[in-house]
Structure 1
Amino acid sequence: MSLRFKEVTDSETETKIPRPFDLGKRQTLDLGNGSEILYISKFVSSDQAWTWFDYLNQRIPWTRPTIRVFGRSVLQPRDTCYVAHPGLTTLTYSGYKPHAYTWDDFTPLKDILDAVHEALPGSRFNSLLLNRYKGGNDCVGWHSDDEKVYALNQEIASVSFGCERDFLLKKKPNKTSQRRNDEVPPAKKSKKCSGADTHSFVLKHGSLLVMKGYTQRDWMHSVPKRLKAEATRINLTFRHIIGD
């Protein structure tokens, strides 16, 4: 089903956030049981978003690593880069340990981080995973961002630049932790989810999406292949590693 957000009127504090940040109204989706999605379609003005897109596309040291998925090695179907505060616990996912760059290596990332912190009072992100989808075949399979370095009730802020792509959510069948399943052959069809257990919507250029509460514990998300998506999309996911 298509995601239907409940509009929330900006508070007096929120309206004071300087342009070009937080240009659009905040919309929320209550997923139940302490899970919630916040979405700002025009978090960044189009011109500023393209300026940052060009910088990220050209200046970030992108890599396309080999990862381990269900006992076999596969090429991750998207480019990636990792930035974090010095001294944090090492991030590992699917058998891959990305090199941790610092915020000082890429000054514009500090500006984007400041903008996200200003839009989300009380947040304190200390790490960033960047992903680049160079076309419709690039994707990320069903997963939850529930690695042990993150709290299960953490807030994850996702900023999108470039090509619009579908973002899907589905409720987990149980509380068992789910991991990435990039490029995994489709399993046998299981019982169909109800409409309330699945959501799909489009992440726009310059938008901000925040997964809040227990979304990682109870839900999975993906960015599926889309053959008609020929242009590049860059996505920044800001997170907080436990212990800082």
Structure 2
Amino acid sequence: MKLKLKAKDKPTDHPYLAKEGGKGRGMVDLGNGSEVLYIPRFISYEESWEYLDYLNKHIPWTRPTIRVFGRSCVQPRDTCYVANAGLPELAYSGYQPRVYSWDEFPPLREILDRVHKALPGSCFNSLLLNRYKGGDDCVGWHSDDEKLYGPTPEIASISFGCERDFLLKKKPSKISQAKRFEGEPPSKRLKKTSHSNQHSFTLKHGSLLLMRGYTQRDWLHSVPKRAKVETARINLTFRHVL
């Protein structure tokens, strides 16, 4: 499968990346060296449907059993892992996925090349794919702060299919929270914690969201359940393993 990139769809020409080294419209400064870039139409609408169809039919999806808080459960989404040869093995929640080669899925290499062109200086060498079949499929609050990604990882996320909410919230500082709540009744503590720093994005069909800087150190993210969602979403998260 070869999907040709039309001149008007070149990511390097996108207005979100055209000014101030990518800090124009679409960039969210989270503070303290953390930032998020969101491009709603990174890949054209028509091409995005072609990619979605290919990914549904040709990726060897699996829904593994993982361990969460000491208990075994089935992961609430399908997954697949693609990476360069010779990298350190990926493992999370007691699960170690099989590693597939880029050569097995040429369209994934095409998308990787497009991401590299859009984000000068990026050098992604691994890809974790997730498929959310419906509203019950989700991923809970977490950060991708594994040591194999280094202290300031860039993670580029491309979405195809059904729109889903992507949430970010600031990790609490135990020391600052203790000082903040000292001597206050529980009712006031609850009121203050409900106003923590949070951001929400609606990840559209063909969109790209980039997290970089200290986002994984200082922030958590999630894709929550949504009762009214009935169609599938496929998410590609490109990462650089050290």
SS in 1 for 2:150: coil
Matched residue, 2:118: 119
| Residue pair 1:21, 1:45 contacting (<8 A) in 2 also | no
Count residues with an aligned counterpart: 213
Give CA-to-partner distance per residue, 1:62-104, whole Å, 9 cap, x none. 0000001011101000000000000000000001000000100
For 2:112 and 2:205, how far apart are their aligned partners in 1?
17
SS in 1 for 2:116: helix
Matched residue, 2:181: none
Give CA-to-partner distance per residue, 1:113-154, whole Å, 9 cap, x none. 000000000000000000000000000000001112111201
1:192 to 2:193 alignment: yes
Partner amino acid, structure 2, of 1:192? T
For 2:67 and 2:152, how far apart are their aligned partners in 1?
26
| Residue pair 1:175, 1:217 contacting (<8 A) in 2 also | no
Matched residue, 1:144: 143
Change (3 A) 1:213 1:76: same
Matched residue, 2:203: 203
Matched residue, 2:226: 226
Of residues 18-27 and 125-134 in structure 1, the stretch that sits farther from structure 2 once superposed is 18-27
In the TM superposition, 1:1-244 aligns within 5 A as 18-22=7-11, 25-26=15-16, 27-174=26-173, 192-194=193-195, 197-242=197-242
For 2:43 and 2:120, how far apart are their aligned partners in 1?
17
Partner amino acid, structure 2, of 1:64? R
* Structure exhibiting the larger radius of gyration computed from Cα positions: 2
Change (3 A) 1:149 1:171: same
SS in 2 for 1:149: helix
SS in 1 for 2:103: helix
For 1:70 and 1:162, how far apart are their aligned partners in 2?
31
For 2:128 and 2:47, how far apart are their aligned partners in 1?
20
| Residue pair 1:139, 1:225 contacting (<8 A) in 2 also | yes
Give CA-to-partner distance per residue, 1:19-58, whole Å, 9 cap, x none. 3233753210000000000011100000010100000011
Identity of aligned residues (%): 67
For 1:142 and 1:152, how far apart are their aligned partners in 2?
19
When the two chains are superposed, the root-mean-square deviation of aligned CA atoms in Å is: 1.8
For 2:141 and 2:241, how far apart are their aligned partners in 1?
22
Q: CA deviation at 1:18?
A: 3.7
SS in 2 for 1:19: helix
For 2:155 and 2:7, how far apart are their aligned partners in 1?
22
Partner amino acid, structure 2, of 1:201? F
Partner amino acid, structure 2, of 1:222? S
For 2:10 and 2:49, how far apart are their aligned partners in 1?
14
TM-score by length of 2: 0.84
